[in-house]
Amino acid sequence: MPFFLFTFFSSIFFTYQFWTHHYPDLYQRHVSSDTIADAFGIQMQVDEDELYWRKRKEGDELECSHNSTHLISQLVQCFTNAMVGSRSWMGGLFHRTSTRRNDKFIDYALSPVQEQRLNWLQDRVQVHFDETRPDHQEALRALWRCAFPNVALKGLISDQWKDMGWQGPNPSTDFRGCGFISLENLLFYARTYPASFHRLLLKKDGERATWEYPFAVAGINITFMLIQMLDLCSEKPRCLPGANFIKLLGEDEEAFDILYCIAFEMMDAQWLAMHASYMNFNEVLQATRMQLERELSLEDINRIHDLPAYNILYQ
């Protein structure tokens, strides 16, 4: 599945999240329980999804209307196929998309340290989130404590999670899109750069859109984007940004997690600069990726702290 299609699905998901979180009565009124059950039971192939959305994109743009039953039903279907697919399907998505590169292949030798750290990072990418594992449950609780230290969490399934930007009361369903590493990234961000984390979580800076991006799910998309951009599902990255990243990883084992934090700040800055709303998220994420690729292609970058955007974490 092409990168633009995944990010388009993400923007559709943000629409779904907004309607269900901010207009629950309207949602209940227009979408019957049978409609929801049917939508969540649909199992479509990736190619069918792609064909469907290409046809839709050629037509009129989606318009959000308070009286549009058809719109909300379609959003539920799109969200289901994009984010609630089987974990094996999402794992296959990583491998399919990571092989489609326009960059010229670069060959290089890995040092023992680089090889060890790359293998460790690739192992992390393959770990699915398992809501039955105590350590995964504790990581979720730890994330809540970092995000809202003065608010007691009622449970791992609670409507409180929507305040952090999850699509529903059970965050574990959202991790199917990227696995446990996306939770590790969020938790690292909250613990290592708490001021930056809370500034973005609470949308403190800039003139904000009426329909903002959901923080937590945006974070999952950023993790996925980095995995693709750095070609981490190949034996070793063959693109220039990925090859240069391996040098940074050799110098700092936390390079990927720090890069995630930088990418989140860059995405939010792009969001504000573009005066974006939820339907522009795919464009914002693509612009963020391009900026990261440019910085990772610079010749004088030897450590993760050398990236020009690194200082944005301390603004």
- List, for residues 174-205, the tens digit of each pLDDT value: 987 789 999 999 999 999 999 999 999 999 88
Residue 237 three-state SS: coil
Query: Tell me, what's the pLDDT at 12?
Result: 52
Range 207-217 average pLDDT: 86
pTM of the predicted model as reported, rounded to 2 decimal places: 0.69
211 pLDDT band, cuts 50/70/90, is confident
Query: Tell me, what's the pLDDT at 208?
Result: 81
On the question of pLDDT at 293 being above 80, the answer is yes
Lookup: tokens for 99: 């092989």
d(CA 213, CA 165): 8
Query: Tell me, what's the pLDDT at 101?
Result: 44
Mean pLDDT, the chain, as a whole number? Answer: 76
Burial zone of 135 (CB within 10 Å; 0-12 exposed, 13-18 middle, 19+ buried): exposed
d(CA 30, CA 160): 24
d(CA 113, CA 111): 5
CA trace torsion 34, 35, 40, 46 (10° rounding): 140
On the question of pLDDT at 19 being above 90, the answer is no
| Torsions phi, psi for 306 (to 5 deg) | -80, -15
104 pLDDT band, cuts 50/70/90, is low
d(CA 271, CA 208): 9
